[in-house]
């Protein structure tokens, strides 16, 4: 019994001495862990805050569009696209096209290029390709539109059926 108690106290003394030896390393590791954790929390807070601001802009642009102030709506939708938000940029471009806010096809194609360079899922990219193909057809660039539709069909995307319908 006394032997076990002595072994436990020896073990505790060894642990305490190791902690004292490695005190700087332990403190440094905890400090680095705290800094990294704080950075990650800040990053997610910042992203959430940015998404909230962009969603408010999107709603504001919709209100301007509803009140027939197309110029203000167009400006806000442009800001949203240039923010490269994964969700709202695609919606903003869609609203610009559907409501004919931009007359220049070159400008719309530049917006498509911006959105295609956003880090989005494969199916979102295929949706953007589908919208771009339909836009090409709208502006009488059928060959380019059909090429995009073929890519979507070959990719076996969830948009495949829609692409097949659009290519007819």
**pLDDT tens-digit series, residues 59-111:** 999 999 999 999 999 999 999 999 999 999 999 999 999 999 998 999 999 99
Task: Give the relative orientation of helices 142-154 and 122-138 as an angle to the nearest 10 degrees.
Answer: 160
Question: Rounded to the nearest 5 degrees, what angle is found at the Cα of 91, between the Cα atoms of 86 and 65?
Answer: 140
Query: What is the DSSP annotation of 61-72?
Result: HHHHHHTT-HHH
Tell me, what DSSP letter sits at residue 100?
Answer: T
> Which residues 6+ apart lie within 8 Å of 94 measured at CB?
131
pLDDT tens per residue across span 15-32: 778 777 888 888 888 899
């Amino acid at each position: 019994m006394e032997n076990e108690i002595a072994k436990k106290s020896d073990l505790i003394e060894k642990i305490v001495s190791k902690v004292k030896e490695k005190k700087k390393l332990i403190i440094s590791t905890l400090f680095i862990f705290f800094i990294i954790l704080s950075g990650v929390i800040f990053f997610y807070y910042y992203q959430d805050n940015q998404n909230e601001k962009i969603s408010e802009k999107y709603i504001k642009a919709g209100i301007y569009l509803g009140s027939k102030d197309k110029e203000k709506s167009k400006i806000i939708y442009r800001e949203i696209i240039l923010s490269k938000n994964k969700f709202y940029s695609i919606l903003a471009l869609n609203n610009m096209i559907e409501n004919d806010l931009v007359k220049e096809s070159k400008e719309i194609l530049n917006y498509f290029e911006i959105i295609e360079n956003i880090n989005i899922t494969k199916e979102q990219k295929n949706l953007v390709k589908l919208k771009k193909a339909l836009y090409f057809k709208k502006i009488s660039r059928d060959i380019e539109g059909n090429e995009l539709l073929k890519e979507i069909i070959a990719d076996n995307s969830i948009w495949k059926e829609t692409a097949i319908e659009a290519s007819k």
